[in-house]
Amino acid sequence: MSVSTPVSVIIPCYRCWDTIERAVASVAGQTWRPAELILIDDASADETPEVLHTLQNRHGSDWIKLIVRQENGGPGGARNAGLAVASQPYVAFLDADDAWHPRKIEIQLGYMLDHPEVAITGHRSRWLQKERDLLPLRGSHKTRSISKYQMLVANRLATRTVMLKREIKCLFEPGAWYSEDYLLWLQIICQGHQATLLNLELAYSYKAPYGAGGWTGDLWAAEKRELHTYKRLHEERLVSLAVSAGVSVFSLAKYARRLAVHTLRSQCVRLRATRSVARFFENM
């Protein structure tokens, strides 16, 4: 039997009619059920609004809060709208096309209650290429602190894994479609708040990892946002100019590598397609 816990869960929803039910089911099925689930329709022009209302009717308006936005403001703006109405002392985030292990809240909140000095936590996540039955927990119950320098080198906190204290009064940068979450996690950590990573797979993603199947333009857009993140941290005096410049150079090097891998993969796909067509005509 699940118990209600002091957690508000926020899910931004945009054109997600075909995946949101899975996400909601993974929240409703928690062994420690969150006190409330906040769904934000970010001006979807498809079947999403109807699906969200159906889910609210099914689970009850006392548990699902539904926010309908008239203009699309991106995931950051949608999450901010959720934060504005969140009533619980802890907040967890999930994307509409992801899902959680049933013990995610139990384990993560349990850790934060036992370690009140920690303001933000994350955990491991697994990419699933297709629907799977409930998977056993993978990893260990070991934890490790996340320093600002570790976060500057690479984002250790996928949004689907994050839980934080609402008292931090944090907001995502609105109008951004890339790295708005990375910027916020860095702002929180660089301000001196403690962050911890749990070594357990408690979330699942059903879309390809970053850059694996995207367009080159998407890669560059994401890179520009990451560079903006480092510039913003310097402007807010959270990191020095030298640190901002150094991680920007490192980020560009990572981008060059991702671009090379993406280009090579695309060429391999085109080559396989060409060979398949050639074999087809040879066998005619």
Same domain flag for 129 and 47: yes
Compute CA distances 219 → 19, 127, 128, 213, 257, whole Å: 24, 19, 22, 10, 11
In tens, the pLDDT along 266-282 reads 677 566 656 655 565 55
What are residue 99's DSSP bridge partners? 204
Evaluate whether residue 52 is within a structural domain: yes
- Using the 8-state DSSP alphabet, how is residue 185 labeled? H
The reported pTM is 0.88
211 occurs within a structural domain: no
Do 177 and 246 lie in a common domain? Answer: no
Whether 167 and 236 map to the same domain: the answer is no
- pLDDT, one tens digit per residue, over 73-104 is 889 999 999 999 999 999 999 999 999 999 99
| Domain end call among 205, 224, 250 | 205
Q: Are 35 and 91 in contact (CB under 8 A)?
A: no
* 233 and 195 assigned to the same domain: no
- Kindly state whether residue 82 falls inside one of the protein's structural domains: yes
Long-range pairs, 133-140, Cβ under 8 A, ≥24: 134/101, 134/102, 135/101, 135/201, 135/204, 137/101, 137/103, 137/200, 137/201, 137/202, 138/200, 138/201, 139/198, 139/199, 139/200, 139/201, 140/199, 140/200
Same domain? For 24 and 82 the reply is: yes
* Residue 170 sits in the same domain as residue 92: yes
pLDDT digits (tens, 9 = 90+) for 147-170: 999 999 999 999 999 999 999 988
Helices (H), ranges, the chain: 20-28, 48-59, 74-85, 104-114, 148-153, 180-190, 216-235, 241-282
Q: From CA 278, how far away is CA 88, in angstroms rounded?
A: 61
Q: Which domain holds residue 36?
A: 3-205
